[in-house]
Amino acid sequence: MSDPIVPILLYLGVLLGAAKLAGWLATKVGQPAVLGEIVIGIVLGNLWLVGVPGFDGMKTDPILNVLAELGVILLLFEVGLQSTIGEMMNVGLSSLLVAILGVVTPFALGWAASAWLLPTQPPYVHAFIGAVLTATSVGITARVLRDLNQTNTIEAKIILGAAVFDDVLGLVILAVVSAVIAAANAGGPGLSFGGIAWISAKAFGFLGGAILFGLWFTPRVLRMASRVRVTGILLTSGLVFCFALASLASFAGLSPIVGAFAAGLILETPYFRDFEESREHSLESLLHPISTFLVPIFFVLTGLRVDLHAFADSHIVLLAAVLTLVAWIGKQVCSLGVLERGVNRLAIGLGMVPRGEVGLIFANVGATLTIAGERVITPQTYSAIVIMVILTTLVTPPALQWSLTRRTKPRAAGQNPPTR
């Protein structure tokens, strides 16, 4: 009997090799590496259409799925490390307004689009499609910002801060809508106001608690950890905080990436000055080899799960096209919430567009909900949602790169480059 680790080793060899080659080719044509990783995943996942099987096992392999989830968690942790709570608070109001507009507008437009194109479906379906459109995949945007060395700009601070608020607000809406559907399926009238308030308080309380935790508790714990003179204690301490907050976020009903980003915000550079290793290495530099291994797996797998065969159904394509348009418009409106002057509002709107893994998570939740034995999200509607997620994910990296670089080129030619 063959060793069960062998297929995983082969999968990883193919995924990592393909990711690096595609990422290199993408950068050669002026696009972010993440776009190449997603595209090569689509190519590998649809080779069966031309009679070349062999990659289907990657799409559902549980070990690869775990590695991919670890990759996106570490990516958000790295991005959080490049910011501070103080910096996020400086754009906190703009981030909050951007997030509110970026949730309310897509939800309303998604409900309206569903009611128009699916008139025979119950209101629960329209509400759930609206909830799916509220999602924002900060992982895609964060990777583009990192590839372009733009994570320290005010646009990046607003986008990433808004994405955290957006994730919380979107997941609150998802939890509420799911609970209403579950109550209706059980024959009840729906969720009570008290139940909605409890779900909301639990979600909003997590970020506030994480910030308070960071301001008081974290420096004390790290001061104690710095006394442990063993190799790797700096990296280990950082990962423990990352995984602990990611787990707490999950227990609170939120995505683990919210906790990972919060952990990065909490762990500010001054907290590590007592670590001997910090004299030679930063926590970011120690994390880099791990993220180089894990992060591409997530983006290639995202592409692998795209089934191009779904585009053959004209009804699915029409619904997907309308949902994609609504998804773009809904997130562009959110840029009106920016209060600071001279900020690239277009980049902020584009940065909030991709639905990515968060949108897919929402869609999968809907696919499991039923009312009177009927699925709330049918396979056809699910396919349209997945296409919308893919389109917003694929188009955003080059659009965001163009938006962020179009202002820096003239300034570099005639003025001093902006400080970082």
Q: Work out the pLDDT band at 199, boundaries 50, 70, 90.
A: low
Contact between 369 and 182 (Cβ < 8 Å): yes
Concatenate the DSSP letters of all residues of 220-250 into one string: HHHHHHTT--STTHHHHHHHHHHHHHHHHHH
The pLDDT of residue 174 is 77
**β-pair partners for 371:** 374
Task: State the CB neighbour count (10 A cutoff) for residue 250.
Answer: 14
Lowest mean pLDDT among 153-157, 188-192, 212-216, 275-279: 188-192
Average pLDDT over residues 26-53: 79
Higher pLDDT, residue 39 or 22: 22
CA gap 138, 131 in Å, rounded = 17
Specify the higher pLDDT residue, 280 or 124.
Answer: 124
| Distance (Å, whole) CA 153 – CA 192 | 42
What's the DSSP call for residue 282? -
Q: Greater confidence, 70 or 39?
A: 70
Averaged over 113-140, what is the pLDDT? 85
Name which residue leads in pLDDT, 223 or 91: 223
Residue 230: its pLDDT value, please? 72
Other Cβ atoms within 10 Å of 117 Cβ, number: 17
- Give one DSSP letter per residue of 140-198, joined into a string: HHHHHHHHTT-TTSHHHHHHHHHHHHHHHHHHHHHHHHHHHHHHHHTTS----HHHHHH
Given a contact cutoff of 8 angstroms between Cβ atoms, the answer to whether 13 and 6 are in contact is no
Quick one: average pLDDT of 357-371?
Answer: 73
DSSP 32: -
For residues 327 and 318, give the distance between their C-alpha atoms in angstroms, rounded to a whole number: 14
- Among residues 177, 193, 182, 198, which one has the least CA distance to residue 252? 198
- The pLDDT, as a whole number, for residue 279 is 65
pLDDT band at 89 (very low <50, low <70, confident <90, very high): low
CB distance 311 to 42 below 8 Å? no
CA distance linking residue 384 with residue 215, whole number of Å: 44
**pTM over 0.75, yes/no:** no
Q: Can you give the pLDDT at residue 414?
A: 41
Mean local confidence (pLDDT), 336-350: 86
Rounded Cα distance between 327 and 134, Å, is 8
Query: pLDDT tens-digit profile of 132-148?
Result: 898 887 767 777 787 77
Burial 23-48 (b: 16+ CB within 10 A, else e): beebeeeebbbbbbbbbbbbbbbbee
Q: 233-251 and 62-81 helices cross at what angle (nearest 10)?
A: 110
Closest to 40 in 3D by CA, of 401, 408, 394: 394
Model pLDDT, residue 110 = 93
* 276-288 pLDDT per residue, tens: 666 667 788 888 8
pLDDT (tens digit per residue) in 211-270: 777 777 777 777 777 777 777 788 888 899 899 988 988 887 677 877 888 888 888 777
The pLDDT confidence band at residue 392, using thresholds 50, 70 and 90, is confident
On the question of pLDDT at 17 being above 90, the answer is yes
- Is the model's pLDDT at 305 over the cut of 80? no
Q: Which domains does the chain have, with CATH numbers?
A: 7-406 (1.20.1530.20)
The pairs formed by 361-366 with CB atoms below 8 angstroms and a separation of 24 or more are 361/135, 361/255, 362/131, 362/132, 362/135, 362/170, 362/174, 363/132, 363/389, 365/174, 365/178, 366/128, 366/129, 366/132
Position 420 scores a pLDDT of: 33
For residue 324, the model assigns a pLDDT of 92
Cα 60 from chain centre: 20
Average pLDDT score over residue span 367-386: 78
Q: What is the residue-averaged pLDDT of the chain?
A: 79
- pLDDT exceeds 60 at position 419: no
- DSSP H helices, 29-137, are 33-45, 56-60, 62-81, 85-90, 92-117, 123-133
pLDDT (average), residues 14-29 = 90
- For the cut 80, the answer to whether the pLDDT of residue 126 exceeds it is yes
Residue 318, number of CB atoms within 10 A of its CB: 12
- Average pLDDT (116-139) is 85
